[in-house]
Amino acid sequence: MARSCQQLLVCLCFLGVCLPRSVSAYEPPAQILFGGDLAYPPLEWLEKNQIKGFNIELAREVARIGGSKAVHQLGNWPDTVHALEQGRLDVVPMYYSLERSRKFIFTQAYLYSSHAIYALPSAMRVSSIDGLVDKTVALEEESFAHQQLRHLVNKPNLVLTSNTLTAIEAVLQGKADYAVLASLAAESLLRQHEWKLERMGPPFWSRGYAFAVNKNKPELAEWLQDSLSATIANGQYQTLYQKWHNELEPAQRNNRWLSFFSTGFALLLALLALGGSWYWSLKRKVEMRTHELSEALVQRESAEQELRRAAQFDAQTGLAKLPYFIDQLDDYFHSHQQPVKQEKEILVLKLVDLDVIVRTFGFSRAEMIVSALASHLIKLEDAFCSYLGRGVFALFLNKGNALALFEHLSSAMAESDPGLSSQFVGGSAYWPQHGRSAGKLMRHAETALAMSEVRHRRWLAYEAAMEPSRVDLDIISIFIDGNVQGIFPVFQPQLDLRSGKITSAEVLVRWQHPRLGLVPPNVFIPLLENSGLIEQVTEQMIDEAVRVAVLLRKRYLPCCISINIAAYDLIETNLAEIVSQTLVRYQGLPSDIKLELTETSVASDPQRVQQVLGELSERGIYASVDDFGTGYSSLSYLSLFPIRELKIDRSFVGDMLDNPRNHSIVRSTILMARELGLVTVAEGVEDDQTLQMLKKDGCDIAQGYVIARPLPEAEFIEFMCAHAAQTFDISQFMKG
């Protein structure tokens, strides 16, 4: 027995549960508080107010050898686990699992045991966990079995109990059909109470059983490991094990004859039995060999389980990997096809600023945020979660719970570690409404997520309209082929509210296609930006803007023309070079043009943008922030870049006289911009009252239909000749 035990302990080290060994000068506390379950024989239990069990005696011995004293506190299992997590207990013996190893420090395992399904003899036989779908199953809350079952997609209805005894009682009282329990404790309780529950098949989930120590006490854990090793080495462990042998290995005692005959040595032994004294020694050898073989099998099965688990679950987060997630969902959809009782939702969730966090604070900070979010996701009882990498998670849950879940996760993140709270966006697709396979639903949920990001929304559900249309593909293929016909500029004048003169304008692209007609920029520009094709439009607009500005200046009508620049232009092209060469070609001055960028493109690659804008401002070319107020960034963030001007978005300006909230946003933006020395432009000014109010609020420049619509080149030059030199009079212009 001693040999097989030691062999077992050596094998358990293979599972990676051993701690690094070191000789430390650690002084253990006078008393160590061990927790445990009230009713978990033969390992620990309370009988007539007396604490008993193998764990209790082992803990006493281990503590004594290390120069301390074990004090025991038994209670409900979930409370015991929480108390260890919160440091109210020092040590609790339990089954090792990956999920638990993230919360506790484990010593080397000192026992090895498995789990099984139990039910009344009349129950339908099930031989594995897969057979429990749709059944009611009693489980000890926070037990190893609970952890395994709660992450299944096809999970049974769970009845959670405070210990193994109450789980058995739930089955006896008809509250549950089956119970999944650690077989050592379950069988001991069944024998003790003579209850007629049966094991429904072979045991499974063979695991190491070890001391778990509170995560904040690594020195205590190391000391405990050393003391445990000493207890094994000095033979004390074996003595204790022999004492509890009948309790710890009851199956071997009960099935002694069965295993004995089944080995094939029975006949041989029967003959040898005639030889008298040989009988006992050989019988013992056969028993030991049989036992060793069965343990080797159990260990191999367990190692295979570990490998399977490593293939299915992500090591950092403990969440399912994508292929396993997809497989599990497809299994679920397959077995719940008709009729659909509960509609489901796949939610893809993304930490928005993870790239920025990596660049600013490094990978470890980003990993902490991902792990923190994963730790909240893993606790969700009603969701099956997967980690797809780079801050993206997928969740499978009942339909309609996404926004409530967002609230819950935001506050859980903020509460658990305020320094780590982070923003996330999401997109959902519904089963069966949007598709019947996991692959298709994942694609739709990703489309909805991308749309949330583009529209700066927190969460959106998938709609067919989000898919790229035939026209979109048509447009992209026209630009890919090159030599696009019908692109031309229009110019929208801007009024300087301080001088009352027209001193600037914005160039806007127009596209008149022979087959598609006049295509609005809102349709084709986002497509070109997202497919990396915007460069050709930008280059053409830079060319037109410089040419027209030089032409006007030569007529003594100086006009600075703004050009819209996309994130792609800033990051992927050599913008500073393109602009400089165009200026040289037309003999332009830096003050002839300025560049309009959006907040989102500034935030997408801050370092690169800072470098490009730096080069441009050294050459005297200034930048303006377009659509201000609609992105994620703040004014204080933007002030880190060499920027001269803010364009307040037309969604705030258009209705500011009827919408006090928007008016106050406009006013406070003007005030803050002035403090930072920035010029403000209000766009989308459609009437004279708004124009007058903006002037009163201290806005510098206005752009909008009240001054002029975007005009083709000839009309724009005519407009400039008529208005640029003198003070612009709206009433006169409106009459005209």
- Which residues are known catalytic residues? 683
Beta strands in 474-587 (DSSP E): 487-496, 501-513, 517-519, 560-564
Q: Tell me which of 164, 386, 447, 564 binds ligand C2E, using CB under 6 A.
A: 564
For the stretch 438-447, contacts whose Cβ atoms lie closer than 8 Å and that sit 24 or more positions apart, written own/partner, are 438/325, 438/326, 438/327, 438/329, 438/330, 438/333, 438/346, 439/326, 441/329, 441/346, 442/326, 442/346, 442/348, 442/394, 444/346, 445/346, 445/347, 445/348, 445/394, 446/348
Strand order in the sheet with 50-52: 39-40, 44-47, 50-52
Please report whether residue 492 would count as binding ligand C2E according to CB under 6 A: yes
Q: With CB under 5 A, what is the number of residues at the site for Ca ion?
A: 4
Alpha-carbon distance of 68 to 53, in angstroms, equals 19
Scanning residues 30 to 59, which ones bind ligand C2E (CB under 6 A)?
none
Nearer to Ca ion, 645 or 697 (CB): 645
Bridge partner residues of 398 (DSSP): 344
From candidates 525, 545, 576, 711, binder to ligand C2E by CB under 6 A: 525
Coil, strand or helix at 621: coil
| 226 vs 627, beta carbon nearer ligand C2E | 627
Cα–Cα distances (Å) from 425 to 387, 421, 451, in that order, read 15, 13, 10
Question: Peptide bond before 202: cis, by omega within 30 degrees of 0?
Answer: no
Sign of the dihedral through C-alpha 146, 150, 151, 154: positive
**In the complex, minimum distance from the CB of residue 489 to ligand C2E, in angstroms, rounded to a whole number:** 7
Q: Report the candidate in 24, 187, 41, 19 with the shortest Cα–Cα distance to residue 109.
A: 19
Residue 104 φ then ψ, to 5°: -130, 165
Applying the rule CB under 5 A, the residues between 133 and 192 that interact with Ca ion are: none
Residue 492 binds which entry of ligand C2E, Ca ion, none, CB below 5-8 Å type-dependent: ligand C2E
3-class secondary-structure state, position 726: coil
Closest-approach residue to ligand C2E (CB): 704
Secondary structure (H, E, C), 573-592? CCHHHHHHHHHHHHCCCHHH
> Which of 83, 497, 541, 635 forms a contact with ligand C2E (CB under 6 A)?
541
Q: Decide whether 362 or 532 has the Cβ nearer to ligand C2E.
A: 532
Of these, 705, 718, 721, 727, which contacts ligand C2E (CB under 6 A)?
705
Q: Could you tell me which stretch among 130-138, 315-323, 391-399, 702-710 binds ligand C2E (CB under 6 A)?
A: 702-710
Residue placing its CB nearer to ligand C2E in the complex, 222 or 544:
544
SS (H, E, C) 30-42: CEEEEEEECEECC
For ligand C2E, the closer of residues 222 and 626 by Cβ is 626
Which position among 57, 330, 686, 715 is part of the footprint of ligand C2E (CB under 6 A)? Answer: 686
Supply the minimum distance, in Å, between the C-beta of residue 493 and Ca ion: 14
**Residue 611, SS3?**
helix
Other C-beta atoms closer than 10 Å to the C-beta of 227 total 23
- CB nearer ligand C2E, residue 273 or residue 480: 480
Candidates 73-81, 145-153, 518-526, 576-584; binding stretch for ligand C2E (CB under 6 A): 518-526
DSSP 313: B
# residues contacting ligand C2E (CB under 6 A): 23
The H or E element that residue 500 is part of is none
Residue nearer to Ca ion on the CB measure, 58 or 541 = 541
Cβ proximity to ligand C2E: between 670 and 682 the closer is 682
For residues 127 and 163, the answer to whether their CB atoms sit within 8 Å is no
Tell me the residue type at 671.
Answer: L
Minimum CB separation of residue 540 from ligand C2E in Å reads 8
Q: DSSP assignment of 389-442, as one string? A: ETTEEEEEEETT-HHHHHHHHHHHHHHH-GGG---EEEEEEEETTT-SSHHHHH
In the complex, minimum distance from the CB of residue 648 to ligand C2E, in angstroms, rounded to a whole number: 11
Report in angstroms how near the CB of residue 561 gets to Ca ion at its nearest: 11
Element housing 705 (H / E):
none
Which partner from the list Ca ion, ligand C2E, none does 704 bind, CB cut-off 5 to 8 Å by kind? ligand C2E
CB of 396 to Ca ion, least distance (A): 40
Write down the least CB distance from residue 368 to ligand C2E, Å: 37
| By CB under 5 A, residue 345 contacts Ca ion | no
Does residue number 216 form part of the binding site for ligand C2E (CB under 6 A)? Answer: no
For the stretch 119-153, what's the b/e string if a residue is b when 16 or more beta carbons lie within 10 angstroms of its beta carbon?
beeebeebeebebbbebbbbbbbbbbbbbbbbbbb
CB of 87: closest distance to ligand C2E in angstroms?
55
- State which residue, 544 or 596, has the beta carbon closest to Ca ion: 596
Q: Which is nearer to ligand C2E, 210 or 541 (CB)?
A: 541
Q: Cis (ω within 30 of 0) for the bond into 432?
A: yes
Q: CA 349, 355, 356, 357 torsion: positive or negative?
A: positive
Assess contact for 26 and 221: CB atoms under 8 A: no
Part in contact with ligand C2E (CB under 6 A); list of ranges 189-197, 337-345, 377-385, 519-527: 519-527
Q: Which of 461, 537, 597, 621 binds ligand C2E (CB under 6 A)?
A: 537
Mark 280-302 as b/e (b = at least 16 C-beta within 10 Å). eebbeebbeebeeeebeebbebb
Question: What string marks each residue from 538 to 577 as x (binds Ca ion by CB under 5 A) or -?
Answer: --------------------------x-------------
Q: For residues 353 and 572, which CB has a smaller minimum distance to ligand C2E in the complex? A: 572
Piece of the chain touching ligand C2E by CB under 6 A; list 148-156, 416-424, 440-448, 515-523: 515-523
Q: Is 494 in the site for ligand C2E (CB under 6 A)?
A: no
Q: Which stretch binds Ca ion (CB under 5 A): 50-58, 183-191, 221-229, 590-598?
A: 590-598
Interaction between residue 37 and Ca ion (CB under 5 A): no
- Shortest approach of ligand C2E to residue 633 CB, angstroms? 17
Whole-number Å distance between alpha carbons of 466 and 474? 16
Nearer CB in complex with ligand C2E: 277/522: 522
Element holding 144 (H helix, E strand): helix 144-150
Q: Is 684 a residue that touches ligand C2E (CB under 6 A)?
A: yes
- Interface residue with ligand C2E, options 75, 78, 521, 590 (CB under 6 A): 521
Residue 9 binds which entry of ligand C2E, Ca ion, none, CB below 5-8 Å type-dependent: none
Restricting to residues 635-674, name those near ligand C2E by CB under 6 A: 650
Could you say whether residue 596 binds Ca ion (CB under 5 A)? yes
Q: What is the DSSP string of 256-311?
A: HHHHHHHTT-HHHHHHHHHTTTHHHHHHHHHHHHHHHHHHHHHHHHHHHHHHHHHH
Angle at 78 between CA 394 and CA 155, to 5 degrees: 40
Torsion of CA 332, 335, 338, 344, to 10 degrees: -10
User: Any contact of residue 601 with ligand C2E (CB under 6 A)?
Assistant: no
Positions in 605-644 near Ca ion (CB under 5 A): 626-627
Residue 540: CB minimum distance to Ca ion, A: 16
Q: Nearest-CA neighbor of 642 among 670, 619, 671?
A: 619
- Does residue 704 touch ligand C2E according to CB under 6 A? yes
One of 50, 277, 364, 522 touching ligand C2E (CB under 6 A): 522
Q: What type of residue sits at position 692?
A: Q
Is the Cβ of residue 128 or residue 689 nearer to ligand C2E in the bound state? 689
Q: How far is the CB of 480 from ligand C2E (least distance, A)?
A: 18
Using the Cα atoms of residue 180, residue 182, residue 185 and residue 191 in order, give the sign of their dihedral.
positive
Residues of the shown chain interacting with ligand C2E in the complex, contacts defined by CB under 6 A: 492, 508-509, 520-522, 525, 534, 537, 541, 564, 566, 626-627, 650, 683-686, 703-705, 710
Residues of the shown chain interacting with Ca ion in the complex, contacts defined by CB under 5 A: 564, 596, 626-627
